[in-house]
Chain A
Amino acid sequence: MKLKPQTVILLASLFVIAGIAATMATGLWQTESDKIPRKLTVAEDAENSGQTQPTAEAGSTAQYDPADIRGSYTFGEISNLYGVPLTHIAQAFGLTYAQAEGFQAKTLESRYPDAEQEIGTASVRLFVADYLGLPYTPTEDTWLPKTAADVLGASGHMNADQTAYLQTHTLP
């Protein structure tokens, strides 16, 4: 069986278009985040440590996982999803309430252009985790500005490890 290049292009295009259409019709096709983070669930072996230690697991019924905060999330959305007051997030990162509402986490870096360490989406994840006292293992060397550390000091629910980490990872 022989095909001409035009036929190949036509067949391939039809197949790809049909594939996209079918996945769109079935709701599988997504080109943007549904902005529903993964949730944490309480591990069954938590009693060993004497306290509940949530671990990340999709589809469970607990608190959203701070590690799943995306750069596209606005501070308003983070406040709604995680239950951290927007005033505290705004205060932590030096914004007004009005600015914070639509402020995307990924644009945080541009607010601290001269910082010795990067302040970005990972910092927001760390802040939310520390504020709520939820487990979060920074994937990189994650830092917070002093304003955020002050908010956490006043209103956060950090455990001893989180407090210790913050003492060495707060920018002046």
Chain B
Amino acid sequence: MQKKLKNRGKLRLWVQIGAFAVVEILALVKWLKELGVSIPFFPEISLHAVCPFGGVVTLYDFATTGALLPKLHSAALILMFLGLFVALFFGPLFCGYICPLGSFQEWIGKLGRKLFPKRYGKLISPKVDRVLGYLRYGVLAAVVYQTAVVGKLVFQDVDPYYALFNFLTGEVAVTALVVLLLVMVLSLFVERPWCRYLCPYGALLGLFNLIRIFPVRRKASTCIHCGKCDKACPMNIPVSQKAAVRDPRCISCYECVSGNACPVNDTVTISTSKGGNAQ
């Protein structure tokens, strides 16, 4: 039984590693192609083509001119719609399981926990953390507006995700590299700092937590108030104080649910309101 639970907890890690590897391979194949080296059987796809946030920022252009922004292709738009549809049911699953930048920060965070055990997670007070969390909505609005005005991918110049996977190409702006470096350093002290405070795509997906069909729910009648769900949450959401997690910061990692952090069966679950967990 214990082994089964352990394996369940590792599911997310394996999905994260897989997603990270796919993006890394795409970036490497593209880079090698630029150098004149073709890798057989691997498609040459630019990261812009498979970035769902590209779909978000090109929506204005698509709606007004029928064309996508330079460097973007229909795949980005399709992935955006698929991602939003999934979020409608399960919340920002993309953030918790797929986003390679999120995973990258999480892995650095594990190192940070070991290097700075007393400071990790305590650099920013919960109050300030909550206020800073609203910054990402400002970033989302600014990026969408600026992209619509300028007509090109303005976010690329500060995007740590683009910098992380393209730094070999020499096409990455210095500002993006600086942001990536700052995110890496901060990740040693703060869990997922980019996701928490600045990620515009996370901001958009996070809103779906308010309406998602399958939120994380806590059954008060069986809850033993051990607080393990709170400790497991990478976004500092007080799960133990909620009947249903509708917090926009939730990344649908499911670390808190029964079988992962929660030691009591059928207490913190992923369910609809008719699932019997409503308080």
A-side interface residues toward B, CB under 8 Å? 1-6, 8-9, 11-12, 15-16, 19-20, 23, 28-33, 38, 58, 68, 70-71, 106, 110, 139
Contact = CB atoms under 8 A, between A and B. Distances in A.
Given A5-B11, A5-B12, A16-B83, 9 more contacts: A2-B271, A2-B277, A8-B254, A8-B270, A11-B89, A11-B90, A15-B82, A31-B46, A38-B67
Range of interface residues on B (Cβ < 8 Å): 35 or more
Interface string B193-234: 000000000000000000000100000000000000000000
B93 interface: yes
Nearest to B15: A9
Nearest to A110: B170
Interface of B: 8, 11-12, 15, 43-46, 49-50, 65-67, 70-71, 73-75, 78-79, 81-83, 85-86, 89-90, 93, 97, 150-152, 170-171, 214, 252, 254, 257, 259-260, 266, 269-272, 274-277
23 contacts: A1-B214, A1-B272, A1-B275, A2-B266, A2-B269, A3-B214, A4-B270, A5-B8, A8-B254, A9-B11, A11-B90, A12-B93, A15-B82, A15-B85, A16-B79, A16-B83, A19-B82, A30-B73, A30-B75, A31-B49, A32-B44, A38-B67, A139-B150
A166 B85 CA distance: 49
Contacts of A6: 8, 11
B49 A32 contact: yes
A70 to B, nearest CB: 6
The 10 closest A-B pairs by CB, nearest first: A31-B49, A2-B271, A5-B254, A31-B45, A30-B74, A19-B82, A30-B73, A31-B75, A3-B270, A2-B275
A11 B93 CA distance: 11
A59 to B, nearest CB: 8
Given A31-B43, A32-B44, A71-B70, A4 B86 contact: no
Contacts of B89: 11-12
Contacts of B152: 139
A104 B81 CA distance: 32
A71 B44 CA distance: 16
A6 B212 CA distance: 18
A5 B275 contact: no
Contacts of B49: 30-32
Contact of A20 (B78, B269, B272): B78
A136 to B, nearest CB: 14
A38 B271 CA distance: 48
Nearest to B48: A31
B278 to A, nearest CB: 12
A33 to B, nearest CB: 7
Contacts of B85: 15, 19
Nearest to A37: B67
B76 to A, nearest CB: 9
A3 B271 contact: yes
Nearest to B45: A31
Contacts of A15: 82, 85-86
Given A29-B74, A29-B78, A32-B45, A12 B86 contact: yes
A8 B93 contact: yes
Contact of A58 (B65, B171, B254): B65
Q: Which of B73, B151, B170, B276 has the most CB of A within 10 A?
A: B73
Contacts of A3: 214, 270-271
B153 to A, nearest CB: 11
A113 to B, nearest CB: 11
Contacts of B44: 32
Nearest to B70: A70
Contact of A1 (B8, B71, B90, B271): B271
A146 B81 CA distance: 47
A139 B82 contact: no
A12 B90 contact: yes
A31 B50 contact: yes
Contacts of B78: 19-20, 23, 28-29
